[in-house]
């Protein structure tokens, strides 16, 4: 209990995202840290980390400023020119820290490999980040814009340029990729700077890999890594992405989910038809699509597609144990998201991360408001996304989806149906596969080769959320399987960062924690 | 049989929209018309009509040119400035034909009342048209644009300005409102011109009423007509809108359907959520909406909303007879629209026009293609449209829809739900009423007061499609009930005009037929 109170003084929370903000005096801080270190047994930050932290407290505005300059560059992977500008700036940023930067061109975005060797290295440490972001409609943002970053104090704009104090850790910086995944890059660079400024050095050779199309499924990343396997050889690969466990605890993870999915288009007449003249006569493709989608889940959120979970590998005892040790955050999430109950109220979210999903991420036909017409649309489309867990692969899951659509009486095609096809079938669905860029990955929680990472993080805060898998998808398997490196995932950013949505943000306390963690990892024992 | 062959020579079809185009010599035409008139008994166009027709054959380019100038003015009712420009041009067009034009300002679009009295009138004849059009996405147009009209010969641009011959009736002019409803206005004016050019005069005082927001439900039209009842007093009101029966026959109608509907929004979390992190946890509002919509109709297109048809007034024997006499066009429509079967294959479309409808005219959440993100949207919306028939009203039908939504377990609100509401209910739907501008209207097929209109049209072609109601909605009841005028509907334009969709068009043969019909009506006996 006493320790909990103490912990809430560090960065406003040591994990408890609802903790009140305190501003202890310098004296109080010193006293509390001392007690905290004693109480937490192994939670004893090294001198190097404490020095970096003290340096950071003098440089907070500059660190946030560097993040905002990076966020201000639009970074949707489909825009090659924008992506090139990001790669250029990142190259400059790493070269300024004495990294040697290779730019690996691919058919998509370039992959950057920033390398820095040191004398008497304890080994080689690889960090993966991505620098692209999800598309976003600027009109949906209420705080800044995706590429017009702002710092906010709650609902109020915080004038970063006019303040000279250290920054409240509850401040947030808003903008696309502040959390996913540019913020963590800036945290790493700040740790490198902090070590240099305090006359320390990383203890490991560093390989930083920057992926430019993670949000597009990293279609070219695996090939680039294979081709440059020698350049990224490492003793440990740390995949840095994804939010922390919603408890706010420092978080590592051991796997990520795979992706599959489809765009489904259901057809009515060859043109939109006047709803008065042809209602009750033509096929209503939106209704047919609604019925098809409705057939995919029951009222309790259980997927009704045959064999949907066939082959899923059960959790190991260690994985079950790790989930059991996590604080239960379901009630807090429901409150945060304004929901009455979870889709599977008898389970918990971390268990659900180990089940496959089926979600509808988009649907469209005709118009609902602006541009609404009294016409029955000629077609209706939906985007269905499936996340995969250990034992499932993208093609198999897609095939199961297609089989289900056929079972609902649809003629399935992968091209626009011609007139003859339309005349031959009452129900027609065009189904094209999406996703599939990321296979499922799962490393062992008990691998001793990644244990130093866990120990280093525990040196900052004995408590640690160990998640067998994250809910999201990223190229974890490129490291754990393709390159066969001992791989672990690291999550730094606040869980409520609105990742992939409007108003994406990074809580500054998480940025500061991230700098601590990188300082600890760069200087950890083998 | 012989008569059928003859009829196909007039305007390329006398109704059969699939008839081949013939270009008989002047001699052959004269001979055939003579035979045709004899065979068709009462189908004997008056001298006045034949004179107008001969005049029209010398003026076809100019008539189409006038239509294109009118169509080139954007006319979506919500744009007041555009609508004013249409009202200005129409005023000029009617004043040029010696009409006195009153501009009745309303909270929406102005209503124009163009009046022309003649000496020794047989009575007063009122024509209703509307000059506004449905919204349209220019990018969806493949021929010209909504307000960039073009004349096409099949798939080829037809250079109207360089031709000096009469125009093939199979040519079509493309643009918003070419058919719905500016083309018929131009046909009336051409008939007025034709009478003047051939030293004839209308036999009736004329009252032309031009509605500027029919496509928006004519919210202000009824009040304007009530206020100006004296200015539009007439012996017969002819509501000119809607396509001909798909057989292509000259068409009159005796009623129109009412409209009701709703925009339904189903809620998930307060923000879009990462589909990996929160799939299997958050509410998927698109799935919930799909299930709700799917509950509204069974697999055979029967509406499952309780009491949906309660109160519907059955067809009279005369109405049944009229429908029985119509050519069955279901098979042709299915072919035209690329459909395998009708929603109700055991019925026929004209019977279905006498049943209420429920159609989905739009649905949206997240994004399917451009801008697609790996996020579960925070809400999903659909626009449901209901057409009403005799015995139903908009509010009752809306209330039945809302009751159905409640029965599916939804908490129904008409405002954005607050956090407390969200936390209290698993399923929430915001339902707001749309439509309702048009009540159902149905006049008697056996009213002797509108019989002169039927006789005049039959004088051109003995065959006539008499539809108890059209599928669409228009302010028929303003004349038949509010003003209590003997009212009949007149449809001129080709059924395949893509009304309300992209590539709206008018077949020139229908424009020529329309001029014949207006010439016959303006000069008909009482």
Q: What does the alpha-carbon distance between residue B427 and residue B266 come to, in Å, rounded to a whole number?
A: 8
Checking if the pLDDT of B330 tops 70, the result is yes
Residues of A in contact with B297 (CB under 8 A): 284, 287
A11 and chain B in contact, CB less than 8 A = no
Helix crossing, B183-197 with B508-522: angle to 10°? Answer: 50
Checking if the pLDDT of B33 tops 60, the result is no
CB contact under 8 Å between A371 and B334, yes or no, is no
Q: Region B378-405: what's the mean pLDDT? A: 97
Checking if the pLDDT of B32 tops 60, the result is no
CA-based nearest residue in chain B for residue A263? B368
Cross-strand partners of B256? B441
Chain B residues 269-328 with CB within 8 Å of chain A: 269-284, 286-287, 289-291, 293-294, 296-297, 299, 301
CA-based nearest residue in chain A for residue B340? A423
CB contact under 8 Å between B342 and A281, yes or no, is yes
Please count the CA atoms within 13 angstroms of the CA of B131 that sit on its side-chain side: 32
Distance, in angstroms, between B304 CA and closest chain A CA? 13
| pLDDT computed for residue A32 by the predictor | 35
CA angle A311, A316, A319 (to 5 degrees): 120
**Contact (Cβ atoms closer than 8 angstroms) between residue A241 and residue A474:** yes
| pLDDT computed for residue B164 by the predictor | 65
Cα separations (Å) of A386 from A92, A392, A434, A474, B365?
38, 11, 10, 14, 17
Per-residue pLDDT tens over the stretch A480-494: 999 999 999 999 999
Checking if the pLDDT of B69 tops 50, the result is yes
**Contact (Cβ atoms closer than 8 angstroms) between residue A387 and residue A258:** yes
Q: What does the alpha-carbon distance between residue B73 and residue B503 come to, in Å, rounded to a whole number?
A: 16
Cross-strand partners of A362? A383, B366
Cβ neighbours of B284 (radius 10 Å): 31
| pLDDT computed for residue A169 by the predictor | 96
Residue A182, SS3? Answer: helix
Q: What does the alpha-carbon distance between residue A76 and residue A176 come to, in Å, rounded to a whole number?
A: 10
CB contact under 8 Å between A343 and B387, yes or no, is no
CB contact under 8 Å between A274 and B374, yes or no, is no
| pLDDT computed for residue B17 by the predictor | 31
* B344 vs B371: which has the higher pLDDT: B344
| pLDDT computed for residue A31 by the predictor | 34
**Contact (Cβ atoms closer than 8 angstroms) between residue B312 and residue B355:** yes
Residues of A in contact with B279 (CB under 8 A): 352, 357-359, 385, 387, 471
10 Å CB burial of residue B192 (0-12, 13-18, 19+) is: buried
| pLDDT computed for residue A501 by the predictor | 84
Cβ neighbours of A84 (radius 10 Å): 15
CB contact under 8 Å between B339 and A423, yes or no, is yes
B359 and chain A in contact, CB less than 8 A = yes
Query: Would you state the structure tokens that stand for residue B498, as one six-digit string?
Result: 């893509």
Residues of B in contact with A472 (CB under 8 A): 274, 276-277, 374
Residues of B in contact with A280 (CB under 8 A): 301, 343-344, 349, 352-353, 355, 357
Q: What does the alpha-carbon distance between residue A152 and residue B392 come to, in Å, rounded to a whole number?
A: 54
Question: What ipTM does this complex have?
Answer: 0.87
Locate tokens 């400059």: which residue? A92
| pLDDT computed for residue B372 by the predictor | 86
Q: Which residues contact A169 (CB under 8 A, 6 or more apart)?
A: A11, A12, A13, A21, A507, A508, A509, A512
What is the pLDDT confidence band of residue A70, given thresholds at 50, 70 and 90? very high
Per-residue pLDDT tens over the stretch A111-170: 999 999 999 999 999 999 999 999 888 999 999 999 999 999 988 998 887 766 689 999
Mutate to test the interface with A, among B216, B245, B278 (most CBs of A within 10 A): B278
**Contact (Cβ atoms closer than 8 angstroms) between residue B19 and residue B494:** no
The per-residue b/e assignment along A12-22, b for 16 or more CB within 10 angstroms, e otherwise, is bbbbebebeee
B381 and chain A in contact, CB less than 8 A = yes
* Phi and psi torsions of B307, nearest 5°: 65, 15
Considering only CA atoms, which of B403, B365, B356 is closest in space to residue B383? B365
Q: What does the alpha-carbon distance between residue B418 and residue B376 come to, in Å, rounded to a whole number?
A: 20
The per-residue b/e assignment along B52-80, b for 16 or more CB within 10 angstroms, e otherwise, is bbebbeebbbebbbbbbebbbbbbbbeee
* B225 vs B161: which has the higher pLDDT: B225
Checking if the pLDDT of A23 tops 70, the result is no
Per-residue pLDDT tens over the stretch A186-201: 999 999 999 999 999 9
Q: What does the alpha-carbon distance between residue A397 and residue A347 come to, in Å, rounded to a whole number?
A: 23
Query: Would you state the structure tokens that stand for residue B68, as one six-digit string?
Result: 């294109």
Considering only CA atoms, which of A186, A254, A223, A176 is closest in space to residue A511? A186
Per-residue pLDDT tens over the stretch B127-177: 999 999 998 889 999 999 999 999 999 889 988 877 666 899 999 999 999
| pLDDT computed for residue A3 by the predictor | 30
* A18 vs A277: which has the higher pLDDT: A277
Cα separations (Å) of A144 from A138, A163, A497, B165, B189?
9, 19, 14, 62, 56
| pLDDT computed for residue A439 by the predictor | 94
Q: What does the alpha-carbon distance between residue B101 and residue B95 come to, in Å, rounded to a whole number?
A: 7
Number of Cβ pairs < 8 A linking chain A and chain B? 345
Residues of A in contact with B339 (CB under 8 A): 268-269, 282-283, 422-423
Q: Region A418-434: what's the mean pLDDT? A: 97
Q: Calculate the average pLDDT of chain B.
A: 91
Checking if the pLDDT of B80 tops 80, the result is yes
| pLDDT computed for residue A164 by the predictor | 65
Query: Would you state the structure tokens that stand for residue B355, as one six-digit string?
Result: 């049943």
Q: Calculate the average pLDDT of chain A.
A: 91
Locate tokens 């007149």: which residue? B490
Q: Region A314-337: what's the mean pLDDT? A: 97
Tell me, letter by letter, the H, E, C secondary structure of A266-303. Answer: EECCCCCEEHHHHCCCCCCHHHHHHHHHHCCECCCCCE
- Which run of H or E residues covers position A238? strand A236-240
Checking if the pLDDT of B6 tops 50, the result is no
| pLDDT computed for residue B7 by the predictor | 29
Residue A390, SS3? Answer: coil
Residues of B in contact with A308 (CB under 8 A): none
Pairing of strands A465-467, A251-253: parallel
A137 and chain B in contact, CB less than 8 A = yes
**Contact (Cβ atoms closer than 8 angstroms) between residue B509 and residue B11:** yes
What is the pLDDT confidence band of residue B42, given thresholds at 50, 70 and 90? low
Q: Region A422-449: what's the mean pLDDT? A: 95
Q: What does the alpha-carbon distance between residue A281 and residue A288 come to, in Å, rounded to a whole number?
A: 14
Per-residue pLDDT tens over the stretch B249-269: 999 999 999 999 999 999 999
Considering only CA atoms, which of B121, B361, B139 is closest in space to residue A278? B361
Checking if the pLDDT of B9 tops 50, the result is no
């Amino acid at each position: 209990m006493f320790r909990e109170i103490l912990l809430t003084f560090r960065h406003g929370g040591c994990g408890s995202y609802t903790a009140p903000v305190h501003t202890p005096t310098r004296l109080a801080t010193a006293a509390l840290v001392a007690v905290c270190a004693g109480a937490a047994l192994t939670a004893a930050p090294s001198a190097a980390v404490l020095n970096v932290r003290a340096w950071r407290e003098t440089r907070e505005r500059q660190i946030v400023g560097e993040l905002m300059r990076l966020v201000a560059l639009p970074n949707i992977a489909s825009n090659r020119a924008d992506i090139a500008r990001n790669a250029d700036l990142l190259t400059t940023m790493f070269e300024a820290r004495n990294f040697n930067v290779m730019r690996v061109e691919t058919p998509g975005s370039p992959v950057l490999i920033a390398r820095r060797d040191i004398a008497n290295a304890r080994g080689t440490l690889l960090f993966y980040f991505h620098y692209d972001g999800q598309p976003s409609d600027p009109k949906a943002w209420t705080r800044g814009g995706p590429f017009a970053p702002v710092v906010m104090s709650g609902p109020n704009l915080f004038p970063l340029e006019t303040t000279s104090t250290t920054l409240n850790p509850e401040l947030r910086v808003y903008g696309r990729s502040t959390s996913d995944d540019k913020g963590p890059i800036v945290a790493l660079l700040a740790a490198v700077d902090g070590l240099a400024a305090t006359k320390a050095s990383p203890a490991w050779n560093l390989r930083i890999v920057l992926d430019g199309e993670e949000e597009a499924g990293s279609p070219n990343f695996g090939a680039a890594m294979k081709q440059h396997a020698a350049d990224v050889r490492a003793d440990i690969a740390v995949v840095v992405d994804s939010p922390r466990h919603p408890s706010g605890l420092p978080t590592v993870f051991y796997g990520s989910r795979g992706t599959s999915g489809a765009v489904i288009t259901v057809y009515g007449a060859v043109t939109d038809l006047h709803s008065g003249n042809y209602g009750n006569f033509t096929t209503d493709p939106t209704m047919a699509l609604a019925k098809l989608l409705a057939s995919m889940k029951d009222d309790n959120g259980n997927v009704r597609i045959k064999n949907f979970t066939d082959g899923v590998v059960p959790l190991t005892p260690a994985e079950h144990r790790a989930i059991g040790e996590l604080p239960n955050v379901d009630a807090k999430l429901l409150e945060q998201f304004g929901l009455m109950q979870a889709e599977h109220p008898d389970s918990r979210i971390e268990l659900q991360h180990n089940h496959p999903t089926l979600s509808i991420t988009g649907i469209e036909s005709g118009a609902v408001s602006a541009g609404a017409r009294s016409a029955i649309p000629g077609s209706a489309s939906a985007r269905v996304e499936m996340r995969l867990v250990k034992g499932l692969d993208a093609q198999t899951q897609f095939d199961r989806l297609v089989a289900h659509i056929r079972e609902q009486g649809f003629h399935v095609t992968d091209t626009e149906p011609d007139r003859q096809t339309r005349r031959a079938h009452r129900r027609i669905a065009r189904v094209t596969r999406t996703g599939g860029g990321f296979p499922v990955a799962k490393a062992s929680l008990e691998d001793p080769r990644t244990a130093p990472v866990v120990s280093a993080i525990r040196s900052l805060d004995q408590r640690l959320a160990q998640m067998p898998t994250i809910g999201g998808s990223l190229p974890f398997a490129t490291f754990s399987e393709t390159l066969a490196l001992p791989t672990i995932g690291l999550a730094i950013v606040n869980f409520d960062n609105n990742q992939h949505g409007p108003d994406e943000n990074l809580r500054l306390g998480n940025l500061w924690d991230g700098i601590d963690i990188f300082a600890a990892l760069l200087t950890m024992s083998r």
